[in-house]
Amino acid sequence: MKSWVENVTIKKYEDRSGLTGLKQGPLVWTEVFLREVNRQSNTGILHFWPMDQTVILGMMDSQVAQLDKGLASIGQAGYSPIIRSLGGLAVVADDGILNVTLILPNPSGHKVDLRESYQVMVDLIAQALSDFPFEIVSGEVATSYCPGTYDLSIKGRKFAGLAQRIYQEAIAISAYISVSGNQVKRGQVVADFYAASFAPQEVSDRFPQVNPNSMANLSDLVGQALTVEDMKTRIERVLIENGASLSTFYPSSDNMTDFMTLGKTIKQSMEKYGI
């Protein structure tokens, strides 16, 4: 990780999506920040983005057989659905989940090695939790929601998942981290979405058979009450320890223009699915 962040000025932006009136605002900011980092050499952006009671669907999820029934299931559970272009399958966001995206310039100037860029976030989270005597394992937890090669787990139970997106010479590496709250319930919401989206004989092996007990929150796994704010502080500390300098990001007029343009496009794409 150090080779990616050392001597890089990382600007922090804490999303307040209510300011834009766009529920998919955090996803739009990811696209804006990719373009900003692509324009600015030796500058990165650390984006913390809280969301209230939301199921963030992947593009693959939009292909389920009965999307309308799946969306209704999400609503009945008290969540709102949105669809993202980053990552493949459904994840849950609420006030106990830390969503974080680190947008960095390509440090090599060559084609990005996806394994190396994923490892940046793996190392960042592992170092942020290094004071706990538990091994953090990177590897797929197949019965979790949004399973992937870079799932992070403790004692066999997943607490975080990673995704990334590349725009020219900028790389966005994202993580959702279950810090506190009822993780089993979150898993059940996603399991119910897939159950409602397919007739029993139609279930596709492209989608996970979600076992809500395959995941847990960090507070339960480490035996200490942690908060989203705690994790933010830990992540910032690790970046500084690895040679980055942190400052605050203030969106420019160009950024806001990008936000409005990209936001309109993303909003229109979701309206196709009735969201």
Q: Would you say domain 2-271 falls under CATH 3.30.930.10?
A: yes
Smallest CA-to-CA distance from 53 within 2, 93, 6 is with 93
Provide the pLDDT for residue 95: 95
The structural domains of the chain, with segments of one domain joined by +, span 2-271
Please tell me what DSSP assigns to residue 140.
-
Smallest CA-to-CA distance from 34 within 89, 127, 88, 112 is with 112
Mean pLDDT lowest for which of 15-24, 65-74, 82-91, 173-182?
A: 15-24
What are the structure tokens assigned to 229, written together?
Answer: 């704010």
Please tell me what DSSP assigns to residue 136.
P
Name the one residue in this structure whose structure tokens are 């992070």. 152
End-to-end CA distance of the chain: 38
Whether pLDDT at 137 is above 80: yes
Any idea how long the chain is?
275
Provide the pLDDT for residue 175: 97
pLDDT digits (tens, 9 = 90+) for 42-57: 899 999 998 999 999 9
Catalytic positions: 146
Residues 18, 184: Cα–Cα separation, whole Å:
28
